[in-house]
Amino acid sequence: MDHSVRIALIPGDGVGGEVLAEALPCLQWASGQGRRMETIQLPYGADHFLATGETLPEKAFQNLRDGCDAILFGAVGDPRVPDGRHAEEILLRLRQGLQLTVNHRPCLTRPCPALEGRVPSVDIEIFRENTEGPYCLQGSTEPGRAVDLAVHTEAAVRRLLGAAFQRAESTGHSLVLAHKANVLKHGHGLWVRIFEELRREHPRVAARGMHADALLCALVQDPSHFGLLAADNYLGDLISDLCAAYIGGMGVAPSLSWAPHRPFRCEALAEPVHGSAPDIAGKGLANPTGMLLSTALLFRHLGWEPEARALEQAVADALATGARTRDLGGDLSTKAMGRAIRDRLP
Ligand code: NAD
Ligand code: IPM
Ligand code: MN
């Protein structure tokens, strides 16, 4: 991208703002490397909702969609909004409204004393469909029964799986589709049908489907058998947190949501896999690693490969030399961990 990139910053709730603050100096560093960018900070989250009644106003959504290239997002979720309405209307609105079909969640082991001997090394990545399934938010609570509808469209499934096959081709990873088509005959039946079609078109990719229950057992027994995992929104959510455990937990897992068909100017959203972590919010305990690795994924998406690699290497070097927050058994604060990583940038 040659033009100046416009990045919206949405800290959100809880630890979201604490970890996002550590990404800002990395943006400044990329800017110093000659990457042209401007940022705008947006206030949407629980505080703003409780003060104004606004979640993500339609006008603000349109400005983001048509006036920004990407979003860096902290996290949403606040005990003061128990039904999570603002989280739905901000985060799910962005994922769905921007048609960010692919949620890429790589889990790559970076050696770190805290993990040695405790978990096997992994190089797994998840391509999670990010806009549909039960997240379509159609359902009802009726006397004696409750319904959550799961909608799967051929367009989104094809887009997600098409991107997954392309990714597997370029990385050499094997591809496994997680599904429950033995029970969810309609929705997951559609996934399997399109997967089989694409498998025939990509003979070089070692691809197979697995029932998600059996897949989870195999993943825990020996994750080294797995490379790229594709799944619908719901299964992908669960699988990605399980895989995050292999690389050190929620504090270190990154994600990038993007739109393969590029329907709008704003086509990527980088956010850590973790949530707002109300149990540790405001204490400077959050690990910013997942946020910084998400920032690296965004750099790569923008075509800034040297900066992406340098930031990932800085994270690897910091972890390898024992820099760690409390979740990894250390005593660094969020800020100190952010600095430890930044100090290792070239
Ligand atoms: P969570 O990810 O917020 O926390 C789960 C556990 O991981 C907690 O013990 C927490 O302390 C720990 N943790 C999370 N992030 C960490 C970090 N950066 N460093 C160290 N430890 C970290 O999940 P939850 O507790 O199930 O959800 C809390 C709220 O966040 C809920 O409202 C939920 O809906 C929301 N949530 C939001 C997102 C998002 O914005 N993308 C993702 C997941 C959950
Ligand atoms: C995630 C979160 C979200 C999800 C919630 C907060 C809506 O768990 O980003 O993984 O389920 O997608
Ligand atoms: Mn999740």
Residue 2 has pLDDT above 70, yes or no: no
Task: Find the mean pLDDT for residues 311-316.
Answer: 98
140-195 confidence digits (pLDDT tens) = 999 999 999 999 999 999 999 999 999 999 999 999 999 999 999 999 999 999 99
Task: Find the mean pLDDT for residues 278-298.
Answer: 98
Instruction: List, in order of start, the domains of the chain with CATH numbers.
Output: 1-103+253-346 (3.40.718.10), 120-247 (3.40.718.10)
Which ligand has the minimum distance to the alpha carbon of residue 89? 2
Q: How far is the CA of 281 from the centre of ligand 1 (A)?
A: 10
Taking the CA of residue 274 as reference, the ligand 1 atom at the shortest distance is 2
Neighbours of 189 (CB within 10 A): 14
Strands (DSSP E) found in the chain: 5-12, 37-41, 70-75, 102-108, 123-129, 133-142, 145-151, 175-179, 207-211, 228-231, 256-258, 268-270
Nearest CA to ligand 2 atom 12: 237
DSSP secondary structure string, 249-279? SGGG---EEE-TT--SS--EEE--SS---TT
46-90 confidence digits (pLDDT tens) = 999 999 999 999 999 999 999 999 999 999 999 999 999 999 999
Which ligand has the minimum distance to the alpha carbon of residue 233? 2
Q: Are 195 and 219 in contact (CB under 8 A)?
A: no
Task: Find the mean pLDDT for residues 284-296.
Answer: 98
316 phi/psi in degrees, rounded to 5: -60, -45
Which active-site residues does the annotation give? 135, 180, 213, 237, 241
| pTM beyond 0.85 | yes
Residue 1 has pLDDT above 80, yes or no: no
